[in-house]
Structure 1
Amino acid sequence: MATQTKGAAVSHVGKIRSNNQDSGYAGRELFVVADGMGGHAGGDVASAIAVKRIIEADTDYPTVHDAEFALQAALVAANAQLSETVFEHAELTGMGTTVSAILRVGDQIAIAHIGDSRIYLYRQGELSQITTDHTFVQRLVDSGRITEEEAMVHPRRSVLMRVLGDVDSSPEIDTQIMSIIPGDRWLICSDGLSGVVMHDDIESILASSDDVDTAADRLVKASLDGGAPDNVTVVVVDVTDAPVPPAAPVTVGSASVPLAFDGKELAPAPRALRLPSLRHHPVRQTHFEPESEDYLDELIEEDARRARRRKITWLVGIVLVVAALVVAAIIGYQWTQSLYFVGVDADGTIAIYRGIQQNLGPISLSSLYTDTGIDVDSLRVYDRMQVEQTISADSLQGALDIVDRLKNAGN
């Protein structure tokens, strides 16, 4: 039987954000996730415009190469529409969106990708990331400057190097063609999932979920359990050779609500997408695209300066700690040398020692001050036992008084 696909899409605003800037689509053969950027209003507008334009490509194609071309053309057209929207509404300047999409033709799929949303393939018990993030930190990882673990917590991990929007009239879009087999499970997600839920946990959920709806719900829940600091959108697609009942396309997130502002048919989500005619404050961006390659070098140098400052801070801290320990050791040693005790020397005579009967590693904290010449055997039994166990004194005069007492008691 011919290869079939079945998909599910789920989107959630998360626990921190006030509006959902993600959009997702699970259609007949096309599946898309877009993560908008550009502040409170611009992000949701951008992802909604992009997805609404791209889903027009959800149709039949004679070859997968035709589908790949159509998918790429749809992203370019969405980019142009975003630029036109910004031209007409200057308050949206700087808005943009990531897009990750797959389009099936027979037993192959066409992939189009830009930004840091991701496409994964779970096949025969192993989860693989198919797309490469177009981010500053990914370039650092690819160049060997930082590790994958360091990239997860890097202060510039949200900086995008490529997006759809009004920053580039000819965006560079990654496309590829892959074969699919029954049993494949595809995942498309925004960084609200991949930035919160670990790779192994995503793999475990995809492996243990019976159907796409359950898998999608569990993935979103995992992000929420992890704090969900960003919107999270997932589209899960199963490949099967069994009959699949026809299902209506599903749109989630910002693209799921009709847009309309300034009397034009463009479509806001509740509250977030109703745009004012003039914005009196700048849009706060969590993603942006640099205008030139020089920006990468500048960020690398800034990161190097940050690393040097961290090293200097640690070095200064270590020096201060060591200095404090040395000062404490000196003060402590001086205190021990203000004390005395009376004991027996190697010749069996009573001696006065300076310090305390302790050792600090190989360093003795006591030294012979004077030998009295008094034979310990001349003392009474009780006094001799005390001297052998040592008698402590707070001062040299106190130690001399103890010796006089012992001498007089023995006479």
Structure 2
Amino acid sequence: MATVSHSAAVSHVGKIRANNQDSGYAGHSLFVVADGMGGHAGGDVASAITTKRIIDADKPYLSPQDAEVALQSALLAANAQIGEAVFEHPELTGMGTTVSSLVVLGDQVVIAHIGDSRIYLFRDGELAQITTDHTFVQRLVDSGRITEAEAMVHPRRSVLMRVLGDVETAPEIDTSILTTLPGDRWMICSDGLSGVVSHSVIADALSSSADAPAVADRLVKESLDAGAPDNVTVVVVDIGEAPAAPVAPTTVGSAAATLGIGEEPARNRSLRLPTLRLHPFRETHFEPDSQEYLSELIEEDERRARRRKIAWLVASILLVLIIAGAAVIGYQWTQTRYYVGADHGSVAIFKGVQQDLGPIPLSSVYEDTDVKLSDLRVYDRQQVEETISTNSLTEARLIVERLHDAVH
């Protein structure tokens, strides 16, 4: 039977953030990543409240369905605790957190997810994203309005449509039950990894034969090497046929730190709230899942698409005008050139150059002469038939005069 053989949790503040608003947990059968957001000083509190509350769900279950209910109940309870914290500390208004969590129960995995942290499965050399981001740009991707590549650089990519926070009392949480096999490697991460490191680099790291802690460290390093503009948290879970020796659960990020000022929320006495502090990095933006807001964003995206089309059209017109202008200037230059050639059995002076531009001739007869090709010496006739370039009309006339003298 499949079971957890190794696991690891690693979190790093990144290279720009002032503090770590992520939380992570690798337990006996429960594994969690929460990415806090909102306000000047609330993301770390929100993710810590949520992680500390959901850790209570790290226990044996009789069935995957029981675990699914327990995970969902824990997240809703955490959502209520965040609301209480905001009520007692109004300066934290607007804080929230994403959560991606899984419980391994024999050969099945139970998942609960909200927000844009992600759960991946690496199996038989293939990496698959298991969860769906609850973001505005993901909706645009799902509806076919933009591509995955465009979503990576979309100006609204940070807009979350669903999170735990002080906005909704009963947010919609995605849950599912999946089968897992010995050899599977599960990975949970905040968008500090998935938003910076490419799918192929993540797959390469997870394909390594190294153990879970080494792989988690490598993934965090990949984010740091790419600039790490946000906190990054990674939890790696390896599935084997026999469990490894018991390892103490690991908590990382803000949930592992002492949060500190003021009076604790009534139902969360283990948490102490932080002082206000400004972060130089732009906070993740959350908007409730309202049709009015979504319609407004879609209209904005359509306007942006129209502006792009207009810009492309203007650029195309300018390019055509530049090419046409260059063609006109080039043609005018050709009409300053002359050469001597053959025209219907006689020597003639041509204006232009000895090439054609497709069906467009770049030369024409400028002046016919009474010198017949048949009267010329063999060498002179060959030269005329192959054309004789000149630097001016005067030089062309001197060549014709020499040919005329040669036959008379």
TM-score interval w.r.t. the shorter chain?
0.7 to 0.9
Count of residue correspondences:
403
Flag the 1:328–1:27 CA change in 2: closer, same or farther, 3 A. same
Find out whether 1:266 has 2:293 as its counterpart.
no
Conserved? CA contact 2:5–2:243, under 8 Å = no
Partner residue, 1:29: 29
SS in 2 for 1:145: coil
User: For 2:116 and 2:172, how far apart are their aligned partners in 1?
Assistant: 14
Query: Which letter does structure 2 place at the counterpart of 1:127?
Result: L
Write the distance in 1 (CA, Å) between the matches of 2:342 and 2:30.
94
1:39/1:284 contact within 8 Å kept? no
Q: Distance in 1 between matches of 2:105 and 2:389?
A: 94
* Cα shift at 1:343: 2.9
Q: Does 1:365 align with 2:362?
A: yes
Instruction: Give the match for residue 178 of structure 1.
Output: 178
State the distance in 1 between where 2:353 and 2:202 align. Answer: 62
Per-residue CA distance 1:232-254 (angstroms, 9 max, x = gap): 11111123342432222111111
- Structure 1 residue 5 displacement after superposition: 4.9
Structure 2 CA distance, aligned partners of 1:372 and 1:123? 85
Q: What SS is found at the alignment partner of 2:160?
A: coil
Partner of 1:290: 288
2:262–2:272 CA contact under 8 A, matched in 1:
no
CA distance in structure 1 between the aligned counterparts of 2:381 and 2:107, rounded to whole angstroms: 100
CA RMSD in angstroms comes to: 2.9
What is the CA-CA distance between 1:372 and the residue it aligns to?
Answer: 1.2
Q: CA deviation at 1:104?
A: 3.5
In the alignment, the residues of structure 2 paired with residue 358 and residue 13 of structure 1 have an alpha-carbon distance, to the nearest angstrom, of 67
SS of residue paired to 1:151: helix
Which residue of structure 2 lines up, in the alignment, with residue 336 of structure 1? 334
Distance 1:404 1:233 in 2: 89
Deviation of 1:334 after TM superposition, in Å, equals: 1.8
Once the two structures are superposed, residues 162-204 of structure 1 have per-residue CA deviations (whole angstroms, 9 ceiling, x without a partner) of: 0011121111111223344433322111122222333343333
What's the TM-score once normalised by structure 2's chain length? 0.88
Map 1:86-235; keep pairs closer than 5 Å: 86-235=86-235
Deviations 1:244-268 (A, max 9, x none): 3222211111111111113546347
CA contact (8 A) 1:376 1:384 kept: yes
> 1:81 offset after TM fit, Å?
1.7
Q: How far off its partner does 1:107 sit?
A: 4.3
Q: What's the counterpart of residue 326 of structure 1?
A: 324
TM-score, normalization by structure 1: 0.87
2:351 matches 1:354: yes
CA distance in structure 2 between the partners assigned to 1:225 and 1:403 by the alignment: 74
Distance 1:382 1:237, change over 3 A: closer
2:298 to 270, 295, 300: 300
Letter matched to residue 351 of structure 1: A
User: What do residues 201-253 of structure 1 show as CA deviations (whole Å, max 9, x unaligned)?
Assistant: 33332232332112211222222333333221111112334243222211111
How far the C-alpha of 1:322 sits from its partner, in A, is 0.8
What SS class does the counterpart of residue 41 from structure 1 fall into? coil
User: Match of 1:75?
Assistant: 75
TM superposition shift of 1:78? 1.3
Is this contact kept in 1: 2:22–2:35, CA < 8 A? yes
- 1:89, 1:78 → 2: CA distance? 16
Alpha carbons 1:261, 1:275 under 8 Å: kept = no
Judging changes above 3 Å, is the alpha-carbon distance between structure 1 residues 46 and 23 closer, same or farther for their aligned structure 2 residues?
A: same
Please tell me whether the aligned partners of residues 104 and 110 of structure 2 are also in contact (alpha carbons under 8 angstroms). Answer: yes
Superposed displacement of residue 310, structure 1: 0.9
Percent identical across equivalent pairs?
Answer: 67
Residue 9 and residue 395 in structure 1: after superposition, are their counterparts in 2 closer, same or farther (change >3 A)? Answer: same
Counterpart code for 2:51: V
Q: In the alignment, residue 369 of structure 1 is paired with which amino acid? A: Y
Residue 50 (structure 1) aligns with: 50
Contact 2:8 2:235 in 1 (8 A): yes
Separation in structure 2 between the aligned mates of residue 18 and residue 82 of structure 1, nearest angstrom: 22
Per-residue CA distance 1:304-335 (angstroms, 9 max, x = gap): 22112111111111111111111211122122
CA distance in 2 between counterparts of 1:39 and 1:15 reads 20
Could you say if the C-alpha distance between residues 377 and 34 of structure 1 is closer, same or farther in structure 2, counting changes exceeding 3 Å?
same
Name the aligned partner's letter for residue 275 of structure 1.
L
After alignment, is 176-185 or 107-116 more displaced? 176-185
Gaps of 5+ in 1: none
Asked if the contact 2:3–2:105 (Cα under 8 Å) also holds between the matched residues in 1, the reply is no
